[in-house]
Chains A and B, each alone.
Chain A
Amino acid sequence: MATNNKTVLDSRVPSGSLEEKWENHKFSMNLVNPNNKRKFDVIVVGTGLAGASAAASLGELGYKVKAFTFHDSPRRAHSIAAQGGINAAKNYKNDGDSVYRLFYDTIKGGDYRSREANVHRLAEVSTNIIDQATAQGVPFAREYGGLLDNRSFGGAQVSRTFYARGQTGQQLLLGAYSAMMRQVAAGSVELHTRAELLDVVTKDGQACGIVTRDLLSGEIIPHSAHAVVLATGGYGNVYFLSTNAMMSNVTAAWRAHRRGAFFANPCYTQIHPTCIPASDDFQSKLTLMSESLRNDGRIWVPEAFDDSRPAHEIPENERDYYLENKYPAFGNLVPRDVASRNAKNVVDQGHGVGPLKNGVYLDFSAAVERDGHDAISAKYGNLFDMYESITGENPYEIPMRIYPAIHYTMGGVWVDYNLMTTIPGLYAIGEANFSDHGANRLGASALMQGLADGYFVLPYTIGDGLADQLGEPAVSTDDPVFTNAVSAIEDETARWLSINGTRSVDYFHRELGRLVWDHIGMSRNKEGLKKAVSEIGALKEEFYNDLRVLGSADTLNLSLEKAGRVSDFFELAELMAHDALERKESCGGHFREEHQTPEGEAQRDDDNFAHVAAWEWTGKDALQTRHVEKLDFENVTLTQRSYK
């Protein structure tokens, strides 16, 4: 792998003290005056938290916005499934929270692999998000006095998480969606549903539009604009089985990457420890159970190998409460990555439980005995019901079975402080970009980042890039850059239909997912990663030669849509393996078995890897070039995590 360790990436972090950077930057940026904003077309792709909030805010400012979603309605975006909550440094609980503490927790939680300036800005605007969402009518949980309630969440010692029952993501998304629909009514946002981005178009190195496929008619359509914003989410579905939605994909980010946007830290993926294990080979997705269950559930496996007795027949002295034994101080509440890796270890060793021996027990019997059935039901009733409806087992009587699953991806399109990619005029926000979470994301921070980017960062920074283009019309869609892109996509679509092999898209996706999970999953090693590179490559060849997509290109064709997405997952998976190979340290969600402390914890190498790795596309079958953005820590001291 070619490695270019010269710092070619300018993060454009403003000068000044940490607290002043964002203020200074807002003042020094170019502005577009209110009357001129209407002269600029801005494309926003994706209508989840980041996309909908950006489209709404840009529309309010007066830009001419075109918003695109491949769903039937903007409200379907997978932000809607976030359960837990959203962090903000309001300090309403008077427990010592502050912008600086939220900044510090996020930097530390990310295992010191994120940009200080970005994270501080995130913490600064976090409080505005709560104000904005409340004003929109988001029904956050309240106390009897009528003020907002908070709860604590993993990785923090203060209560700063705002929530709306177990459906915080849904309520925040409906808030952003309604704000956007208001702009649709006002005529400042033009909404395109069932339109999937298949290419990003550039002219003279500047982003000037996109190409979409109308998922109903199959028409390939060019759209031009002065700036393009990607808010298209993460790439967890490369694993096939994940907590992502069925349609979540990397295509928009990847097609931008192929046009020159660097892709950063693809190996940073996050595993969530409490998901319901797969029950069949044809399992289609995994369901997450809120992490709060670990507050009262005890995690254990049978001491004996391959023990098939039902849980209640296994006596106390033949159970291994492995987290409580290994980490007496934190017990079942160790961080996500530690809990996940330990579950994998015991299952790999043959202690797994359930019909497929692929889970560990999360046992509430002690809690029910201690607090009573009603108390546990009041806390976790809806989660227990959900578990029972999926598994058919009653968790009050039979211990839950859980296993880790891919949940979030910290890597993504590289962006500078302005959230602009390496292609001028192309921006990436929300989970689609790599910023803010470093190598590991804290609970309740994904919603915060998506909305921070969309409501309070991008609407300022995009003006800085647009101001220079005043008076220039957007590139015409008759320009060869557009017509060429359209015909290339038409060719690609026709190609999927003409392979006429024997296997379905889902077959290849599932097989790819297995490879990625086995080798680039919870823990990685050199040998496995090299194997991944060769096996993914071989499977990709098979995909191109043996795929069968039926039907036609000019109607709704779900298999055809998936073919393009899975082909992008293949290329991404290869890059993930290379990125994981090159990062010869363990940090956050990236655990290299060769780099661990004697206690089995992630061992960082700050001397050699305190940097962002951003990959440059160099052609279809060429190895990509690895660029480095050095991370400077001027405010925090780098420490080793320990949870013993």
Chain B
Amino acid sequence: MSEVITVNLKIWRQEGPEKSGHFEEYAQKITTEASFLEMIDLLNEDLNSKGLEPVAIESDCREGICGTCGVMINGQAHGPRKATTTCQLHMREFSDGDEIVIEPFRASSFPVIRDLVVDRSPFDQIIESGGYISVNTGAASDANLTPVPKEAADQAFDAAACIGCGACVAACPNSAAQLFTSAKLAHMASLPQGQPERWKRTEMMVGTMEEFFGSCTNHGECHEACPKEITLDFIAFMNRDYMKAKVKNRALSGQR
């Protein structure tokens, strides 16, 4: 049942990308029925009425699917509850008097824009470099012309469930983006439709990823933080494909 608790917030405040940031402390009363973001909404309402600027924090669907929200809560990306985005976290996870440290996702490739808002646009650049199947509108044949084994479709879906929130990068000690990149690659490589461009796609997307992000050293923190529980198996899948791609792409271009 719901109760009213007071939590002591330490929130990262930073006016802009070039400004230096600092923590500010706020005590916030809240019912345990509220969601974590509604607790921040209330804090912002109070700040506004005191003439202080609200904390900048992003969220959109508040249903755990759009990937817009995401902050570090007591050092964990999206907070303490497993397989849960920040917007789906509720205050019943906390107790009266708890200190809650709230920071933006920390990664050099995700620069802070303001307070808790970061720039995750390198993810779009990874997709742009090959995260698609090249099929123009209208060119497709009947959908049932190519049967896809149910297991393959299910595996593709497991990978495609990624919401692009960036928690994997934030949780990784190396700020690596292997989980995000491999999820997209495994999604497409699991399907017959993804085969023609499989090797080129792998090399291109891994190359772009490496321009922006650190290297994977198998800590597994990304999987622990992932709200959709994308598995590390896909990283292994990507690594195998990447090795093969290095050979196959040479062969395909006639450079055996």
Whether chains A and B associate is: yes
- Least Cβ distance of A503 to chain B in Å? 8
The total number of A-B Cβ pairs within 8 Å is 212
- Least Cβ distance of A151 to chain B in Å? 15
**CB-CB < 8 A to A456: which residues of B?**
137-138
B153 within 8 A of A: yes
**CB-CB < 8 A to B66: which residues of A?**
75-78, 80-81, 245
A376 within 8 A of B: no
Complex Cα distance, B92 from A550, in Å, reads 31
Contact between B140 and A135, CB atoms less than 8 A apart: yes
Contact between A282 and B194, CB atoms less than 8 A apart: no
B236 within 8 A of A: no
**CB-CB < 8 A to B95: which residues of A?**
none
Contact between A134 and B65, CB atoms less than 8 A apart: no
Complex Cα distance, B154 from A246, in Å, reads 31
**CB-CB < 8 A to A455: which residues of B?**
137-138
Give B58's nearest chain A residue, CB to CB: A72
A586 within 8 A of B: no
- Least Cβ distance of B228 to chain A in Å? 10
Complex Cα distance, B59 from A390, in Å, reads 16
Contact between A507 and B45, CB atoms less than 8 A apart: yes
Contact between A78 and B61, CB atoms less than 8 A apart: yes
A136: which of B56, B88, B135, B150 is its contact (CB, 8 Å)? B135
Q: Which of B117-142 contact A (CB under 8 A)?
A: 117, 119-121, 123-124, 127-142
B161 within 8 A of A: yes
**CB-CB < 8 A to A142: which residues of B?**
148-150, 153
Contact digits for B46-77, partner A, Cβ 8 Å, 1 yes 0 no: 00110111101011111101111000000000
B41: which of A90, A178, A287, A506 is its contact (CB, 8 Å)? A506
Contact between A389 and B114, CB atoms less than 8 A apart: no
Overall SS of chain B's interface:
loop
Contact between A284 and B132, CB atoms less than 8 A apart: no
Which one of B31-39, B209-217, B244-252 is at the A interface?
A: B31-39
B164 within 8 A of A: yes
**CB-CB < 8 A to A502: which residues of B?**
49
Contact between B156 and A81, CB atoms less than 8 A apart: no
**CB-CB < 8 A to B48: which residues of A?**
504, 548, 550, 559
Contact between A134 and B143, CB atoms less than 8 A apart: yes
Which one of B101-109, B170-178, B185-193, B218-226 is at the A interface?
A: B185-193
Given contacts A136-B132, A283-B38, A504-B49, contact A392 B31 (CB under 8 A): no
**CB-CB < 8 A to B5: which residues of A?**
none
Contact between A556 and B117, CB atoms less than 8 A apart: yes
Contact between A146 and B60, CB atoms less than 8 A apart: no
Contact between A137 and B187, CB atoms less than 8 A apart: yes
- Least Cβ distance of B29 to chain A in Å? 12
**CB-CB < 8 A to A53: which residues of B?**
137
Q: Which of A483-528 contact B (CB under 8 A)?
A: 502, 504, 506-507
Given contacts A171-B160, A178-B131, contact A285 B188 (CB under 8 A): no
Contact digits for A58-70, partner B, Cβ 8 Å, 1 yes 0 no: 0010000000000
B207 within 8 A of A: no
Contact between B153 and A182, CB atoms less than 8 A apart: no
A369 within 8 A of B: no
A71 within 8 A of B: yes
B193: which of A78, A137, A555, A558 is its contact (CB, 8 Å)? A137
Contact between A287 and B63, CB atoms less than 8 A apart: yes
**CB-CB < 8 A to B61: which residues of A?**
76, 78, 80-81, 245-246
Give A506's nearest chain B residue, CB to CB: B45
Which one of A125-133, A330-338, A418-426, A598-606 is at the B interface?
A: A125-133
A170 within 8 A of B: yes
Contact between A246 and B38, CB atoms less than 8 A apart: no
**CB-CB < 8 A to A182: which residues of B?**
128, 132, 134
Give the interface size bracket for B toward A: 35 or more
**CB-CB < 8 A to B142: which residues of A?**
131
**CB-CB < 8 A to B136: which residues of A?**
57, 60
A378 within 8 A of B: no
- Least Cβ distance of A299 to chain B in Å? 23
Contact between A245 and B62, CB atoms less than 8 A apart: yes
A92 within 8 A of B: yes
B231 within 8 A of A: no
Q: Which of A169-214 contact B (CB under 8 A)?
A: 170-171, 174, 177-179, 181-182, 184-185, 191, 193
Complex Cα distance, B20 from A299, in Å, reads 55
**CB-CB < 8 A to B129: which residues of A?**
185
B2 within 8 A of A: yes
Give A184's nearest chain B residue, CB to CB: B128
Contact between B191 and A280, CB atoms less than 8 A apart: no
B2: which of A193, A216, A355 is its contact (CB, 8 Å)? A355
Complex Cα distance, B31 from A141, in Å, reads 40
Contact between A556 and B187, CB atoms less than 8 A apart: no
Contact between A81 and B135, CB atoms less than 8 A apart: no
B96 within 8 A of A: no
Contact between B144 and A92, CB atoms less than 8 A apart: yes
Contact between A146 and B41, CB atoms less than 8 A apart: no
**CB-CB < 8 A to A181: which residues of B?**
124, 127-128, 131-132
A140 within 8 A of B: yes
- Least Cβ distance of B218 to chain A in Å? 27
Given contacts A75-B164, A148-B144, contact A139 B54 (CB under 8 A): no
**CB-CB < 8 A to A57: which residues of B?**
136-137
- A-B pairs with lowest CB-CB distance, top 5: A146-B147, A135-B140, A178-B132, A134-B143, A131-B140
Contacts A/B (CB < 8 Å), 23 sampled: A60-B136, A74-B124, A76-B66, A76-B67, A77-B66, A78-B60, A128-B138, A130-B143, A131-B141, A135-B139, A135-B141, A135-B193, A137-B156, A137-B187, A139-B154, A139-B160, A142-B149, A171-B160, A178-B132, A279-B2, A389-B84, A456-B137, A559-B54
Binding site for B on A (CB under 8 A): 53, 56-57, 60, 71-78, 80-81, 90, 92, 128, 130-137, 139-148, 164-165, 167, 170-171, 174, 177-179, 181-182, 184-185, 191, 193, 216, 245-247, 279-280, 282-285, 287-288, 355, 389-390, 392, 455-456, 459, 502, 504, 506-507, 548, 550-551, 555-556, 558-559
Given contacts A390-B90, A550-B52, 14 further A-B contacts (CB under 8 A): A72-B58, A80-B65, A128-B138, A131-B141, A135-B140, A136-B132, A143-B150, A145-B147, A179-B137, A185-B128, A191-B124, A216-B113, A282-B38, A285-B62
